[in-house]
Structure 1
Amino acid sequence: MTAGTESRRVDAGLAIRLDGVALGYGRRAILEDLRLDIAPGEVLVLVGPSGSGKSTVLRAVAGLLAPHAGRVLAQGVTVSGPSPDRAMIFQDDALLPWRTVRRNVELPLRIRGVPRRERGTVAESWIARVGLAGFEDRLPRELSGGMRQRVQLARSLAGAPRAVLMDEPFGALDAQTRGEMQRLLLDVLHGTSATVVFVTHDVDEALLLADRVVVLRRGGIGSVLSVPGPRTPDVDRAGLRARIIEEL
């Protein structure tokens, strides 16, 4: 990783606060009076039934949806729109189909004005980290679904965001590929101090990835549960799993 990229990581990890936030679309409120603090570098996972507003919360944190009331704060500053400091990863990989893997991964660096040589070096490093060395010149249509998600992860992290917002990114993958992506994400998160907010409907995925799990109910936050480490599948979290499922 280059010196320029390291300098952008000095203050990595956004503190995020939901301060009395109400969210909805049009005049219809989905969630009311959300109050939550997310620590810098924390992995917070949102779970809840369909229609509970998981993705709505994520869009508000990303600056894609303005609250009806209250404030979303990032490092003490009110979120008023998207920012390169808050990268969004969707279930649909959203890669640009005419750009190669390398050029897709370079995109956030190009937007930030990073010189060509540096962004090429950073992109190569992230492509290798997600296990796609040798695929740099492939187009998205030449890749499997899991490979495209690897590219999206590399693209999101190459820009050194201070928060990564993930909206069921592995939901469309088969079970084996999903497990591979979960392990890859854990490995990648080990090397970054970015704050992560992850949305899933899969309780086991939530318990594997999270420092804390927030259970959304219709209208607001139900429980906020701390998840003991380490983040490995063999840790017994049966009690937490049963509690979350009962609440859902």
Structure 2
Amino acid sequence: MIPLRMDAVDLGYDGGPVVRGLDLDVKPGEVLAIAGASGCGKSTVLRALAGLLPPRAGTILADGVPVRGPSPDRALVFQDDALLPWRTARRNVELPLAIRGTSRAERRARADDWLARVGLAGQERRLPGQLSGGMRQRVQLARTLAGSPRVVLMDEPFGALDAQTRAAMQRLLVGVLATTPATVVFVTHDVDEAVLLGDRVAVLAPDGVCELVDVPYPREMGLRDAPEVAAARGRVLSALS
């Protein structure tokens, strides 16, 4: 787990700026949820933290070192599971390990271990087309964490799932994060999800973070309706409006 920092960062594409003057600190080992209106730049911020989009101005640091490109230490999880359809669940999880040169025996053992940890023991030989949407997201999560990244960047990974599957994936992620030493930045448009998963919620606007809310009892499923959590949810909703 490592800290992340963005100082006076401007981000954009050929069409113009998307985010201006962003200052953001992510503490080592915390889960920072980022919420905001559509088009405010949430996914753009993740791409920049991943090293896929250089800033137009300002500095992005990971563990005190400038981010100048992608790194296996920083893994990105997409809303689209991005699995290779011709590879089995096991071989999809093995892929980043194979790219790193991990031995066949070790990558198979790690893939099977992570598939079991996300509830897919016995599904190792299935192709993505034979799996449900929730199961494919579990494979993507296993593939991400099998490489032991120090930072996990999650871009609305449950946004395309139905409500029941989404709730199941949230419970799964809570359990996985409890045993995974990584710094997590989780983008979502769902305020309840942000308040459930995040230690803090950063409400993003085009001119930077407009509110940073500390969340009591993060990832405590049984305390979602506690008055303190409701107050934090109210602060996020107020900032969004």
TM-score w.r.t. the length of structure 2 is 0.96
Deviates more, 1:193-202 or 1:23-32: 23-32
Q: 1:227 matched to which residue of 2?
A: 215
Partner residue of 2:173? 185
Matched, 1:242 2:212: no
Count, aligned residues: 236
Are 2:84 and 1:96 equivalent residues in the alignment?
yes
Contact 1:40-1:193 within 8 A present in 2 as well? no
Q: Tell me the amino acid that sits aligned with residue 143 of structure 2.
A: R
Whether 1:198 and 2:186 are equivalent positions in the alignment is: yes
- The equivalent position to 2:52 in structure 1, one of 64, 71, 84, is 64
Aligned partner of 2:159: which letter? G
The 8 Å contact of residues 195 and 218 in structure 2, kept in 1 or not, is answered as no
Contact 2:197 2:218 in 1 (8 A): no
**CA positional deviation for 1:173:** 0.2
Q: Which 4+ stretches in 1 moved above 3 angstroms?
A: none
- Does the CA contact (< 8 Å) of 1:31 and 1:53 recur in 2? yes
The whole-number CA distance in structure 2 between the counterparts of 1:136 and 1:170 is: 22
Residue 214 (structure 1) aligned with residue 202 (structure 2): yes
Amino acid aligned to 2:232: L
Q: CA deviation at 1:27?
A: 5.6
Any unmatched runs of 5+ in structure 1? 1-12
Instruction: Give 1:137-156 correspondences, 5 Å limit.
Output: 137-156=125-144
Deviations 1:48-105 (A, max 9, x none): 0011110010000001111110111111111111111111100000001110000000
Is the CA contact 1:105–1:151 (under 8 Å) kept in the aligned structure 2?
yes
Worse-superposed segment, 108-117 or 147-156: 108-117
Q: Is the 8 A contact 2:20 2:206 kept in 1?
A: no
Paired residue type of 2:175: D
**What is residue 165 of structure 1 aligned with on the other side?**
153
Distance 1:113 1:36 in 2: 34
Give the equivalent residue in structure 2 for 1:6: none
Cα drift, residue 36 of structure 1: 1.4
Superposed CA offset, 1:216-239 (max 9, x none): 123211011111115223322111
Asked if structure 1 preserves the Cα contact closer than 8 Å seen for 2:11 and 2:18, the reply is yes
Structure 1 stretch displaced more, 229-238 or 160-169: 229-238
Deviates more, 1:146-155 or 1:72-81: 72-81
Matched, 1:127 2:115: yes
**Contact 2:9–2:59 (Cα < 8 Å) also in 1:** yes
Q: 1-side partners of 2:144 and 2:169: how far apart?
A: 15
Deviations 1:190-241 (A, max 9, x none): 0111000000000000000001100012321101111111522332211111
What TM-score does the superposition give when structure 1 sets the normalisation length?
0.93
Residue 29 of structure 1: how far off its partner (Å): 1.4
Q: What SS does structure 2 have at the residue aligned with 1:234? A: helix
Whole-Å Cα distance in 2 between the matches of residues 152 and 185 of structure 1? 12
Post-superposition Cα deviations, 1:8-63, rounded to whole Å, max 9, x if no partner, equal: xxxxx021110111111126112111111111111000000011110010000001
Task: Name the aligned partner's letter for residue 67 of structure 2.
Answer: V
Partner-residue secondary structure (3-state), 1:114: coil
Q: Given the alignment of the two structures, is residue 84 of structure 1 paired with residue 57 of structure 2, yes or no? A: no
Q: CA RMSD in A?
A: 1.0
In the alignment, which residue of structure 1 is the partner of 2:106? 118
